[in-house]
Chains A and B, each alone.
Chain A
Amino acid sequence: MSTVASRTAPRRPLRWTFTDAAAVTRRNLYRYVRVPTLLLFSTIQPVMFVLLFTYVFGGAILVPGVKHYIDFLMAGILVQTVIFGSTQTGVALAEDMSRGMIDRFRSLPMARSAVLAGRTLSDTVRNLFVVCLMLVVGILVGFRFHAGFVPALGAVALALAFGLAFSWISAFIGLSVRDVESAQAAGFVWVFPLVFASSAFVPVASMPGWLQAFARVNPVTVTVNALRALTLGGPITKPLLQSLAWIAAILLVFVPLAVNRYRRAAG
């Protein structure tokens, strides 16, 4: 294209990929420090769900083999919470885009992955906070870990990993629709059938046959089942592997898609 020799580009050190992502994560988390109401409202809703489901539906829903509905509910509501939380990833990215922040970041010599990695990481940190709070509230209203300490930690880690995977889907949606209101709407609608047509709140066996077929392969179902095994005991290997396979598959598809969207953002 050009006849004049270009300057040669120096190599970038690999550690910048991590330090850049860390800098963006920190920036995102500041938001929760500066706008505490944001954290308040992102925790009130899940806590309310725990209490409402326990006391409103708890009496009516009888799950075979489970003595207290809260024990059955907790795995479902954890997954619901991390998924609902992950929809905010796309909203925040759309907001950054509309305010010119993404343009600024893209004009800086930072790692191309840093904005998305930083966003999904900070949203995972927020999810960790919310999950811990919900567990405390759950324990206050009767929830107990029946399978021991290490599986309990595994349950929290699996819930967060599942939320992280959904954050990348949400990132892709947010970068695609571009404006905040659309990201809000587009980010939410499709998660409802996933969450409710699953084993999150009721046993799959109680659904009509055609819905069972969907519910059984639903990533929410397998992850909820894995969490139940980790919190209540029971066969763990199959649902855990299924859940990890879903997480890996989602990441494999949506990380490249989202990064590609980001590179070409607004262009």
Chain B
Amino acid sequence: MGGMLNEAAIVTEGLRRSFGPIKAVDGVDLAAPAGTVLGLLGPNGAGKTTIVRILTTLLLPDGGSARVAGYNVVRDAEALRSVIGLAGQYAAVDENLTGRENLDLVGRLYHLGKDEARRRADEMLERFELTDAANRTVKTYSGGMRRRLDLGASLVGRPQVLFLDEPTTGLDPRSRFSLWDVIRELVSDGTTLLLTTQYMEEADRLADHVAVIDGGRVIAEGTTDELKSRVGGDLLALRVADRGRTAEAADAIADLGSGAPQVLSEAGEVSLPVAQGASLLAEVVRRLDAAGLEISDLALRRPTLDDVFLALTGHVAEADAGEDQEPGGPPRGRGRRPARSSA
């Protein structure tokens, strides 16, 4: 255990995994020091879930290597399973069992022994505010309650490394915020966490270090502040009333920026990285007015991770959201994304 502190809790080197012609994970290097939160940020189909499945021994890699908590994910898979916890995209809890029975079952399967399994089940029920619902079958639980129970189940074994695959997808904002609080509290106990998300805000709130994933590769990494500084300075964001003239608006103000403007025609939005900030606003308004362009919104703001993603990939993170879930297994022939040439 002592040696653990010197080594990263999660290390991957050149990790690869294909499903047929699709390179779901295409040479991924990651490192998360013990006790930190690593966020994998990317759209659906980027390869995040495949990475999690490899690191939790559910899937064998085609190439490269990965160690979690010092264990090789292929050779030491069996030993590794006793020191990790996983909460996947779906709340994997049994509807026909009560909340307590679900946690107790997982505790038994971690071989905690009858008494300890029961004790930890109670502990998790309390921690996730499910004590009142403990003896009700999960069938009667809300979506948020199921997610909390699922998270509880992933923690019953007191894992050294925890994997949360899109923990808040499909939750309403209130449940999402309360889950964030729980996760923050959790990592303050020293658990190493790998979290995947499509939400920039989520990575921003929870992760110490973020790896941006697109097309099975890490296209950028760093702290959220480092990533934001890639966009440079502030962002001037405007929306034109007539979406058809978005490009025209971008052209009119392009030379005022410190970089090229990003244009989202379908939303009528233009964002321009700027150095001086406020002094430019009046000039922008003058120019657009002169061009006869009506503005419905104009703001100067700090860049978000959305802007970073756009700057890095040239498309917004949600652009892929309409696609099927990324491969949890070999392609099943429906709605698979086409193989993407490497970015």
Contact = CB atoms under 8 A, between A and B. Distances in A.
A59 interface: no
A106 B76 contact: no
A109 B96 contact: no
A34 interface: yes
B278 interface: no
Given A1-B65, A2-B65, A266-B328, A108 B106 contact: yes
Contacts of A6: 67, 70-72, 75-76
Interface stretch (A12-20, A81-89, A136-144, A217-225): A12-20
Interface in B60-91: 60, 64-65, 67, 69-72, 74-76, 78-79, 81-82, 84, 86, 88-91
Interface string B91-112: 1101011000100011011110
A103 B70 contact: no
Interface centre among A4, A31, A107 (most CB of B within 10 A): A107
A49 to B, nearest CB: 27
A66 to B, nearest CB: 43
Contacts of A103: 53, 58, 86, 88, 92, 328
B58 A109 contact: no
A108 B109 contact: yes
A23 B110 CA distance: 11
B110 A108 contact: yes
A7 B70 contact: yes
B53 A2 contact: no
Contacts of A157: none
Given A1-B72, A2-B65, A23-B109, A106 B58 contact: yes
Interface residues of A, number: 35
Contact of B58 (A20, A110, A267): A267
Contacts of B82: 109
A30 B139 CA distance: 13
A146 interface: no
B329 interface: yes
Contacts of B91: 100
B65 A9 contact: no
B109 A4 contact: no
Interface string A212-243: 00000000000000000000000000000000
Contacts of B86: 103-104, 107
Contacts of A16: 111
Contacts of B105: 23, 26-27
Contact of B81 (A1, A7, A26, A107): A107
Interface centre among A12, A23, A105 (most CB of B within 10 A): A23
A199 to B, nearest CB: 38
Nearest to A112: B78
A67 interface: no
A48 interface: no
A178 to B, nearest CB: 8
A100 B94 CA distance: 10
Nearest to B63: A1
Chain B interface bracket (under 10, 10 to 19, 20 to 34, 35 or more): 35 or more
Contact of A35 (B96, B108, B153): B96
A109 B13 contact: no
Contact of A30 (B101, B109, B332): B101
Contacts of B110: 108-109
Contacts of B64: 1
B59 interface: yes
B304 interface: no
Contacts of B79: 7-10, 109
Contacts of B69: 7
Contacts of B84: 107
Contacts of B101: 27, 30
Contacts of A107: 56-58, 81, 84, 86
Contacts of B81: 107-109
B61 to A, nearest CB: 10
A101 interface: yes
Given A34-B96, A101-B94, A19 B108 contact: yes
B58 A34 contact: no
Nearest to A105: B109
A20 B328 CA distance: 25
Given A8-B79, A31-B96, A100-B89, 16 more contacts: A1-B74, A2-B72, A19-B111, A30-B94, A30-B101, A99-B90, A100-B91, A103-B58, A103-B92, A103-B328, A104-B92, A108-B106, A108-B109, A109-B79, A109-B157, A114-B109
11 contacts: A1-B64, A2-B72, A7-B71, A16-B111, A23-B108, A34-B137, A35-B96, A103-B58, A103-B88, A103-B92, A267-B60
Interface of B: 7, 11, 13, 53, 56-60, 64-65, 67, 69-72, 74-76, 78-79, 81-82, 84, 86, 88-92, 94, 96-97, 101, 105-106, 108-111, 137, 153, 157, 328-330, 332
A-B CB proximity, top 5 nearest: A9-B79, A266-B329, A100-B92, A109-B82, A267-B59
Interface of A: 1-2, 4, 6-10, 12, 16, 19-20, 23, 26-27, 30-31, 34-35, 99-101, 103-110, 114, 178, 265-267
